[in-house]
């Protein structure tokens, strides 16, 4: 005949309290994460094409409130990671989000990469 042993009530209570605490903190972390990114501009660097020693075309996607204009800062770097081009582009309001964009950036020497550094709503700059 076997007997089933149960943990003491005190230990079981602490397991329940600990489990509820972890669940509450997880829910709080998820809520903070969603609240911190809601309504913000998000961009994705989709690539670049080096057109010449003086130009690089940068492809990027922008996810945002489609009724608002966005300003993005573009950069181009050379093989030594020195900045050889910089500029800003205004992305006008659109019918939908996300949107794909290709923007040309002038450079002072041949670039090896081009990318979007930051984007923000035009009315918040």
Question: Which CATH number is 92's domain given?
Answer: 2.60.40
pTM over 0.75: no
Q: Over the stretch 4-51, which tens digit does the pLDDT of each residue have?
A: 676 677 788 888 889 999 999 999 998 887 777 677 899 999 999 999
User: Do 30 and 46 share a structural domain?
Assistant: no
User: Do 66 and 31 share a structural domain?
Assistant: no
User: Do 51 and 30 share a structural domain?
Assistant: no
Interatomic CA distance for residues 18 and 16, integer angstroms? 5
Q: Over the stretch 52-107, which tens digit does the pLDDT of each residue have?
A: 999 999 999 999 999 999 999 999 999 999 999 999 999 999 999 899 999 999 99
The parent domain of residue 18 ranges over: 1-38
Reading the block at residue 102, the tokens are: 């290709």
User: Do 70 and 31 share a structural domain?
Assistant: no
Comparing CA positions, the residue from 50, 43, 16, 55 lying closest to residue 116 is 43
Q: 117, 51 in Cβ contact below 8 A?
A: no
Q: How many domains does the chain have?
A: 2
User: Do 92 and 59 share a structural domain?
Assistant: yes
Q: What is the largest CA-CA distance in the chain?
A: 87
Q: How many CB atoms lie within 10 A of CB 66?
A: 14
Q: 68, 122 in Cβ contact below 8 A?
A: yes
């Amino acid at each position: 005949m076997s007997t089933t042993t149960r943990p003491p009530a005190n230990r079981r209570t602490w397991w329940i309290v600990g489990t509820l605490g972890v669940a509450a903190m997880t829910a709080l972390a998820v809520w903070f994460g969603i609240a911190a990114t809601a309504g913000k501009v998000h961009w994705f660097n989709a690539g670049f094409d080096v057109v010449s020693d003086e130009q690089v075309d940068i492809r990027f996607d922008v996810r945002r409130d489609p009724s608002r204009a966005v300003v993005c800062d573009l950069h181009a770097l050379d093989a030594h990671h020195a900045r050889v081009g910089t500029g800003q582009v205004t992305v006008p309001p659109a019918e939908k989000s996300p949107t794909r964009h290709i923007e040309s950036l002038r450079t002072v020497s041949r670039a090896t990469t081009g990318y979007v550094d930051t984007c923000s709503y035009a009315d918040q700059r």
